[in-house]
Amino acid sequence: MNELKISSGSIRMYTNEIQIIHSTAKKKRRHLEDITIPLKEIHHVELYKPRWPFSKGYIRFSLDGSYHVKKDSRSAGLESFSMLCSTMKEYKKLEKIKRDVETEIEALDKKDMLPPNEVKQIEQLIKKIHNARKERKTGRQKRLISELENKGIEVELQEEKILWKLKKQA
């Protein structure tokens, strides 16, 4: 186990999963939960530098197909699968976690991965679903979702984001 502690909590990295533990104050104020994410479910890792005193930096673990409405520290601070940092010292620690997670992800089996052009097409359809949802066009939204499901993609609609993943093949 590899554990890095920063002011807003800690991140524990095991061989096949990571655990994000938020500080007690953050849990109470922002209604965050401690979560455990299997490495095979992480799609990519975003890391942004703190621009002190203007904004905080953060690391965000994007789950397979999660769609983030905004890419800023304010919205990242409200998500359970991200961790804020305020100093360059903490940022360096998060850089190490990002490198380790990406190395582990690459080491996992890549047989279930989609080609990059297909992932791009799926992301474009997810964006169209998000726009149809904002414009309250349910017919278009259902048509786009069924188009993805016909390609073997499982879609889950949540309040702020849309998740997708490959359907398990028997």
Neighbouring-strand partners of residue 57 = 85
Is 42 within 8 Å of 14 (Cβ atoms)? no
Q: According to DSSP H, which parts of the chain are helical?
A: 24-30, 73-76, 88-107, 116-134, 138-150
Q: One-letter amino acid identity for 73?
A: S
Collapsing DSSP states into helix, strand and coil, what is residue 16? coil
What the chain holds in terms of domains, given with CATH numbers, is 2-107 (2.30.29.30), 116-166 (no CATH)
Say how many C-beta atoms besides its own lie within 10 A of residue 24's C-beta.
9
Phi, psi of 94, deg, nearest 5? -65, -35
Tens place of pLDDT for every residue, the chain, 170 residues? 678 888 888 999 887 889 989 888 777 777 778 889 888 888 888 888 888 777 788 888 888 666 565 566 666 666 777 888 888 888 898 899 898 888 887 776 554 567 778 888 888 888 898 888 888 888 998 899 898 888 888 888 877 777 777 776 54
Phi, psi of 81, deg, nearest 5? -100, 30
Collapsing DSSP states into helix, strand and coil, what is residue 20? strand
